[in-house]
Structure 1
Amino acid sequence: MLTRRAVLWLVVVALGLGGTTAHVPAQTAPPPTETITLDEARAVARQALFAGRFELAREIAMGLLQADPEDAYAYGVLAAAHSRLNDPRLARAAARLSYKYSTTPQDKFGAARTAASISYQQERPTVSQAWLRVAATHADTPSQDKLLAQDYRKVRAANPFSFNINLSVAPSNNVNNGTDNVLEVNNGIPTQGIFRNSSRALSGTVGTLDVRLQYRLRATDQSRTTATGRIYTRRVELSDSAEALAPSLSDGDFASTYVETGLNHQFALGKPGNSVTVSGALGASWYGGERNYDFAKIGLARSVRLSPNSQFSLRGGAEQRQSTVSDLRDSHVYTLGAQYSQKLDSGARVNLGLTLQDVNGDFVNADFQTASLRASYTFGKQIGPAQITAGVTLGYTDYDQYRLVSPVAGGRQDTSVYGDVSLFFADYDFAGFAPTIRLRSGQRSSNVNRFDIRETTISLGIQSKF
């Protein structure tokens, strides 16, 4: 309990209630023993914060802590007061203690949001995002989810640093892109060759980690320059049956890693929503534990907003790959792509994409052209517990010349078709991250039957709700 007269006198002095402080008589005797409840004192502290009397709010909060050293509300008041009194260290400490001593999910949620707000005001957006993730662990209503999404968008826009992490684990019946065939057949004619077991389809589990980083170097209303980085790694664990079929192979034979760093410069051009992006990157690739090639690439993209709900983009790129194995495996890669996205009145989204690629290399088997077409549909409403996206990808690859032991007449031509369904369980999140399941199945057919493959993969991953 706190002395009522002492608290009310502080309010009169600080908030100017009932006249100026010059007419307040000096207190020469101890204040009366009349008291107010802790809840009343908390209400006065809150009023002081709203009135901008931060020193008064701090004093009342300190009085509350004398009565209860684990008063989460008092620490919340201290956090807000110290933040406005330009004492960030004490503000952060009070915010942590407010969260620590909160006892209900609702109070934990509020304390974490307060800590996030203080970090944002102190221009510590990454810390603010972390606190919002903590708040998400205590959110249990749609309105709380909506508040967090709004807060997170605001903080993310202010943060020069951003990252995106995709992690998946996928059981697969073909981790090595192997064939189901036993006898070698080219253009429908048996060659009397027999595929080694290491070329057969091997089952196992594939784990991937894809980390993309961005740091905004400069931004205006019309342009933005960012430094970028990416690390992609793929690891395979062969099943017992695969190890028995091909004992000479190990998990590391199928491991791959891709690393790049670069710069992007985006600027507005034309109507609002239209832009151009110029990019460049350097990097390297590893496969089977050995460095495979180094690369340098440049790109140019044009994005046009066709309507408030539709977007079209066109991109082109050139890449030089320098093989670390043999100069014969050096190659130039030229890419042209187009993407169209349309949001429907139902809330559903349709995406169509076309990619053309020309790979030129001195090695005969590293000179080819590819084309792929992808269409996807994201349902506007959740179906049961999941948000669903379905897609199909068609592909074609043409090698003018191809050589195995001897040249293949007419070269090599591959066609492929893959379908996939992704399910995102947004209602089962933790800290704003929710599980995903992706089923992908399809096949590739070739006139060189070594490259006939069938594959079915079920990927388990996580995705951010924000």
Structure 2
Amino acid sequence: MRTLPRCLLLAAILAASSVCGAAEELELTVGQAREAARTAYRQGDIESANTIARIILESHPDDASALLVLAATEPLMGRPEEGRQAGVRAWANADDPALRHEAAFYTSKAYAADDRFFMAQLWLRRAYHTADSEEEREQLENVFDRLRTVSPWLMRFSFDVAPSSNLNGGASSEFLVIDDTFPVGQLSGTARALSGVTSSVQGQAVRTLSQSPDHLTTLTFNGYRTFNTLSDEAKSIAPEAEGSDFDYGVAEVVLGYRRAQSPFILPDRISVALGQTWYGGEQLDKLSRLTLSKKVKITPNDWMRFEVQAEHRDPDDDGQDRQGRELNWDYFHQTKDGDLLSFGVSGTNVTSDEIDYAYTGVSARMSALMADDIWGVRLGGSLEYSFNDYPDYRIGSIYIDDGREDREISADLDIYFDQIDYMGFVPVITVSGSKTTSNISRFETDSLGISIGFNSAF
């Protein structure tokens, strides 16, 4: 049986060497020493708990329980770095799930005490993953929310993998036909629908610049990137193409300001964005965007949001600039069961000296998101219809008298597996489909895809 001299423990607890010197050479098991350290910590005797843990570690340097006590006490004694180092070691050496859970939790607290909030959130997710009851998980969700309020940084990441019947937005037909009657020729392979797999990664880092009960000012960094792989069928249609030819990426920085309430018709959210887009590995556009929006509460369960957006795009090639304006209106209703329903309409106008880019569009959409799961899954979905009118349009040297008109209908079904999670991330399967009709066959498309991704549960 592993033992420790009891006089050392008495010295740790009483901090009196004379008592130890007079004490009989009794021995205490390591298990009893661990319990003594935990008892001292629970009773608020932080220094004694810390000292006992250090004595245990002198002869048992990888003792997970003693390392855990150090992780809990070192930050309270002004040494958060030592606390998080002990917590990481406790996690690595713990072979008991409950001990690993505590190690993750106190390591998170040690990182938070040192203002390293990103790592604090990561370790809190580990604590969430090792919690053995729903009550503990709910408590950790509340801790996570409080951590977000004190942290100047907020990080979000998501990724998914989506097999698609049309990853490049290509035409359904191999021929170019105008108004269903005037054949022009055969489309190139890359202009036709190509099937394959699209993987996407999205990240967001939000830095709080100033905050009060009435306002919030943030600086946000957004990044999005797709990675495409063509199927064998697509390679036979477009032999010279590669999946990377259709990769898309965007990076932007957004300065945002939000007020709890704004008088009259003044917006409660204002944001200014600058960014860059890429396509096929080449720079595509530089963009700048101004967004104003306002929430109008009607009842405790009903509200509307109005949004106005102006955007400028400057192509990196010799193309002409584009100026876009968009108006959005959305109505939201939350049922007594917590389900969220919404309906919205939008209007868009884009102008450019390059006539192929100038158009006017309208759209309508509706969506629903369940609050509770059924048979272990939670459902959400959306349906949207849009119409875009290009009054002037040409294809090469051919000018289209009636311009171009596109009509699209799209639908998505999201399936959330809330009962399956890893570190607070739950798998989400999205089934999506869209169909576009146009008076120019190049823009008549059909797309069906299914994606598998992960979303944060809190």
Distance 1:194 1:10 in 2: 87
- Partner SS for 2:399: coil
Distance 1:3 1:155 in 2: 42
**How far 1:454 sits from its partner (Å)?**
0.8
Aligned CA distance change for structure 1 residues 448 and 107 (closer, same or farther; 3 Å): same
2:304 pairs with one of 270, 291, 312: 312
Do 2:261 and 2:268's aligned partners in 1 also have CA atoms closer than 8 Å? yes
Deviations 1:308-365 (CA, angstroms, capped at 9, x unpaired): 43442211111121122225x2111111112233221122211223222110011111
- Aligned 1:66-465 pairs, distance under 5 A: 66=58, 68-270=60-262, 276-327=268-319, 329-404=320-395, 405-465=397-457
**How far 1:9 sits from its partner (Å)?**
7.6
Aligned CA distance change for structure 1 residues 61 and 336 (closer, same or farther; 3 Å): same
Distance 2:244 2:12 in 1: 71
Aligned CA distance change for structure 1 residues 288 and 65 (closer, same or farther; 3 Å): closer
CA RMSD of aligned residues (A): 2.5
Distance 2:173 2:62 in 1: 70
- Partner SS for 2:208: strand
Aligned CA distance change for structure 1 residues 29 and 253 (closer, same or farther; 3 Å): closer
Distance 2:17 2:129 in 1: 51
Distance 2:98 2:300 in 1: 38
Deviations 1:217-274 (CA, angstroms, capped at 9, x unpaired): 1112211111112122222211111111122323232122212113111123249xx9
Distance 1:145 1:27 in 2: 45
Aligned CA distance change for structure 1 residues 55 and 241 (closer, same or farther; 3 Å): same
**How far 1:102 sits from its partner (Å)?**
1.6
Do 1:3 and 1:31's aligned partners in 2 also have CA atoms closer than 8 Å? no
- Partner SS for 1:207: strand
**How far 1:385 sits from its partner (Å)?**
3.1
Aligned CA distance change for structure 1 residues 330 and 429 (closer, same or farther; 3 Å): same
| Amino acid of the structure 2 residue aligned with 1:251 | G
Distance 1:141 1:28 in 2: 43
- Partner SS for 2:337: coil
| Amino acid of the structure 1 residue aligned with 2:163 | P
Distance 1:387 1:368 in 2: 38
Distance 1:52 1:266 in 2: 41
**How far 1:25 sits from its partner (Å)?**
12
Aligned CA distance change for structure 1 residues 34 and 253 (closer, same or farther; 3 Å): closer
Can you give the 5+ residue segments of structure 1 that lack an aligned partner in the other structure? Answer: 15-23
Distance 2:113 2:260 in 1: 29
Aligned CA distance change for structure 1 residues 308 and 43 (closer, same or farther; 3 Å): farther
How many aligned residue pairs are there? 453
- Partner SS for 1:395: strand
Distance 2:244 2:9 in 1: 71
Aligned CA distance change for structure 1 residues 35 and 356 (closer, same or farther; 3 Å): same
| Amino acid of the structure 2 residue aligned with 1:264 | G
Distance 1:77 1:234 in 2: 45
Do 2:178 and 2:184's aligned partners in 1 also have CA atoms closer than 8 Å? no
Do 2:10 and 2:19's aligned partners in 1 also have CA atoms closer than 8 Å? no
Structure 1-normalised TM-score? 0.89
Match of 1:20 in 2: none
Do 2:11 and 2:17's aligned partners in 1 also have CA atoms closer than 8 Å? no
Aligned CA distance change for structure 1 residues 67 and 298 (closer, same or farther; 3 Å): same
Distance 1:392 1:7 in 2: 68
Structure 2-normalised TM-score? 0.91
